[in-house]
Structure 1
Amino acid sequence: MSYALLGLENPLLDIQAIVKQELMDKYGFVNNGAMLATEKEQPLYQELIDNYEVAYVAGGAAQNTTRGAQYLLPPNSTVYMGCVSNDHYADQMKKAASEDGLETKYQIVDGLPTGTCAVLITGHDRFLCANLSASEKFSLEVLQKPENWSIVESAKNFYIGAFFISHDGGYASSLAVGKHAAENNKPFTMNLSAPWVALAFRDRLDAVLHYADIVFGNEDEARSYSKVAGWGTDDVKEIAAKFAQLPKANTQRPRIVVFTQGSDETVVATGDKVTAHPVDKVDASEIVDTNGAGDAFCGGFLGLYCQGVEDLSKCVNAGHYIASLCIRRTGPTYPPKAERTAIPEF
């Protein structure tokens, strides 16, 4: 079938739990920190499941975004590809994605567990401990199998997070999808993902950005790229304008650059035009968790854009709306279908 949006990246099963301080102390975790799991942290994930009430979320940044886009799209509009293992974690992630209406076409590998992220909640604080594992094993060879490449060929829009380019299979797959998108005049979207990506993978990032018709990022990611590019500015509007003018493969579409700044205005650049869009702030008393708000914004924006909406201010408003739903909940989640209300006019 044809999908409005195909997302690709590193899938992680978020295992969320409200935990006791003694668990934080046991592992030496500091509130509001984040880390990649070492051998010491490997028992943490089963310990959470055994000793706490956990919630499972189909995570990884691009999977969060694709789920958010599905919120605004007709049923069965989105599909996601990434790599998992043949284990209980993968079963839980597939179930969680399905509950948000997201179709998954995971590559399955043996010998490694499905990637997971422990989300430890203490009051209003969070600690994230990610075990990437199988999520980094996605391969171009699997993407190019007829049953998978046919999904690429039929998809109308593409979304890739820059975390995907940190391993060889994800990088090669990003280039292949970007090339297909450019040759067929399909919108190809990339998220800068984190400030360190531009520092550690500048050449790979530039190679994939060459295909990007839409670029998402936050102010820190924008400034990180400006630094490595030698642009000599921290001004987000100026950086967005420079991004919009970078050469790109598909000359039939002007590049759209969208930089969020938390609760401050969102900056959009396309062609030689830069605009700023205020955020309708959520009352502090209603904010539960800002984790995943950026992914949610991208989902809302694309949820409207993939329906052919060309008014970028409306797409930004949709992004703000989905992000506002997300921050009223724990983790990068959206209201379940039974609790969803009528979607407002943007």
Structure 2
Amino acid sequence: MLQIPGATSYIGCIGKDKFGEEMKKNSKIAGVNVMRQHQWGLVLFVLLVVRDQWLPTYQLQIAANCYKSEHLKRPENWALLEKAKYFYIAGFFLTVSPESIQLVAEHAAATYKIFTGNLSAPFICEFFRDAQEKALLYMDYVFGNETEA
């Protein structure tokens, strides 16, 4: 959206396969700096928009199931957080790595940066309420639809 290569970063998880390679290629074309945790044998697409096409949310859920906060804590990844001004985290991420969300939320609060997220789906609001409420305390902006709200 900014049309400035490298101005936007993404941290997530993709598969070590031809689909992961395709995502790397498309991310580079789009100018997005992507730091990925790789998993063997998984087909994961975690970037929301690639060439104006939305990716299905079930693929986001699969990706979230593989992400570990240790990846976020790596110096090269944490450096991206320190440089960032705005953070957006999908609610599906609450199902597996609430620790990662809290790390980002606390960093954003401590450094007066904007922290945003979405509710993702009604089941997230229902079954992951405790983790969601912890994250919501830090959010400057929350996105959701009428059913999720």
Q: Name the SS for the 1:153 alignment partner.
A: helix
2:14, 2:37 within 8 Å by CA — same for their partners in 1?
yes
Give, in whole Å, the separation in 2 of the partners of 1:73 and 1:212.
26
Alignment-derived partner of residue 84 in structure 1:
14
Alignment-derived partner of residue 98 in structure 2:
171
Q: Does 1:109 align with 2:36?
A: no
Q: Does 1:146 align with 2:75?
A: yes
Q: Does 1:187 align with 2:114?
A: yes
Q: Name the SS for the 1:193 alignment partner.
A: coil
1:162, 1:197 within 8 Å by CA — same for their partners in 2?
yes
Q: Which has the larger radius of gyration?
A: 1
* 1:232-247 equivalence runs, <5 A: none
**Which range is displaced more, 209-218 or 134-143?**
134-143
1:115, 1:130 within 8 Å by CA — same for their partners in 2?
no
1:173/1:185 Cα in 2 relative to 1: closer, same or farther (>3 Å)?
A: same
1:135/1:215 Cα in 2 relative to 1: closer, same or farther (>3 Å)?
A: closer
Give, in whole Å, the separation in 2 of the partners of 1:219 and 1:133.
25
Pick the aligned partner of 2:28 from 86, 98, 102: 98
Q: Could you report, residue by residue, the CA deviation over 1:185-209 in whole angstroms, capped at 9, with x for unpaired residues?
A: 0000111111221011111100111
Give, in whole Å, the separation in 2 of the partners of 1:76 and 1:146.
18
TM-score normalised according to structure 1 size:
0.38
CA RMSD of aligned residues (A): 2.1
Q: Does 1:155 align with 2:84?
A: yes
1:193, 1:217 within 8 Å by CA — same for their partners in 2?
yes
Q: Name the SS for the 2:147 alignment partner.
A: helix
TM-score normalised according to structure 2 size:
0.83
Give, in whole Å, the separation in 1 of the partners of 2:20 and 2:82.
26
Give, in whole Å, the separation in 2 of the partners of 1:129 and 1:152.
24
Q: Could you report, residue by residue, the CA deviation over 1:232-289 in whole angstroms, capped at 9, with x for unpaired residues?
A: xxxxxxxxxxxxxxxxxxxxxxxxxxxxxxxxxxxxxxxxxxxxxxxxxxxxxxxxxx
Report how many aligned residue pairs link the two structures.
Answer: 139
Give, in whole Å, the separation in 1 of the partners of 2:103 and 2:64.
19
2:11, 2:77 within 8 Å by CA — same for their partners in 1?
no
Give, in whole Å, the separation in 2 of the partners of 1:184 and 1:116.
30
1:104/1:201 Cα in 2 relative to 1: closer, same or farther (>3 Å)?
A: same
Aligned-residue identity in percent: 38
Alignment-derived partner of residue 217 in structure 1:
144
Q: CA deviation at 1:77?
A: 1.1
Give, in whole Å, the separation in 2 of the partners of 1:109 and 1:164.
17
* 1:1-346 equivalence runs, <5 A: 71-110=1-40, 112-115=41-44, 130=58, 132-167=61-96, 170-222=97-149
1:157, 1:187 within 8 Å by CA — same for their partners in 2?
yes
- Which structure 2 segments of 5+ residues have no match? 47-55
1:156 alignment partner AA: K
Q: CA deviation at 1:133?
A: 4.3
Q: Name the SS for the 2:9 alignment partner.
A: strand
1:181/1:202 Cα in 2 relative to 1: closer, same or farther (>3 Å)?
A: same
1:220/1:149 Cα in 2 relative to 1: closer, same or farther (>3 Å)?
A: same
1:161, 1:192 within 8 Å by CA — same for their partners in 2?
yes
Give, in whole Å, the separation in 2 of the partners of 1:162 and 1:108.
21
